[in-house]
Chain A
C-alpha cells in the first residue's frame, strides 16, 4: 500500500510569492495534519483537517491556509512568502481525529524562499 505522498518534493520561491503544497493520505485515512520543520528544529503543528473540516490550528499567521478535499487529500497554501518560511513541510495522515495519535508522515516538501 502507498504511504503518504507529498508534492512537490523540492521547490524554490522568492519573497512575496505564493506556494501550494499537496498531500495524499494513506488509503482509508480521513485525517490530515500539516507540520513545519525548520532546519535544526522539531516539527511544529500548523493544521489538522478531518472530514474536510479544520479540527486544529497552530500558532501560524493567516498567510497559512489549508483545505481538505472529498477524497481526503489536502493542500497547504502559504501567501506572501517570507525568508523564514523556508522549511520542510510535512504532511501526516491518520485514521481519525480522536484515535491514539499515531501519525504516518510523508517525506515532505522542502521549500526554499530566496
Chain B
C-alpha cells in the first residue's frame, strides 16, 4: 500500500515570491510520482510527473519538482508565483506494476497568492 503526506494544508505567499509545496510518500514498491492542480469548481490537471531518469522534472506554468528517493519526497517549487496560481495542489503516487491506473492522493495544499 502507498500513502502520501502533504505537510501543509495552506500556503499563503505574495505574488512574485518563490514557493515550495511539500510532499512525502510511503510505499513498499516503486512508484511514479505526480503533481496535479485543481482550480475552483474544476477537475484535476496534471502539472508534472516523475517516471524515471533525471530527478528534477519540469512541468507546465513554470513549476518544477525534485524527486528525492532517500527522503521519499517530491516537493513542488516555483521561483515566482502569480495570482493565477491560486489553487489546490495534490501530490499523488502510482505503483509501477500491479496497481492498474490507481492513483493515491495526498490531502492537498491550498496555495493562496496575495498581492
Contacts and interface: CB of A to CB of B under 8 A. Distances in A.
A70 interface: no
Given A42-B90, A42-B108, A105-B43, A97 B100 contact: yes
B32 interface: yes
Interface in B64-115: 90, 92, 94, 99-108
A102 B99 contact: no
A48 B90 contact: no
A98 B51 CA distance: 13
A41 B107 contact: yes
A42 B32 contact: no
A42 B107 contact: yes
Nearest to A41: B107
Given A42-B90, A43-B90, A48-B100, A102 B43 contact: no
Interface of A: 4, 31, 33, 35, 40-45, 48, 50, 55-56, 58, 90, 92, 94, 97-108
Interface of B: 4, 32, 34, 36, 41-46, 49, 51, 90, 92, 94, 99-108
22 contacts: A31-B101, A40-B108, A41-B108, A42-B4, A42-B108, A43-B90, A50-B100, A55-B101, A56-B101, A56-B102, A92-B44, A99-B101, A101-B49, A101-B94, A102-B34, A102-B46, A102-B49, A103-B103, A105-B44, A105-B45, A106-B43, A107-B41
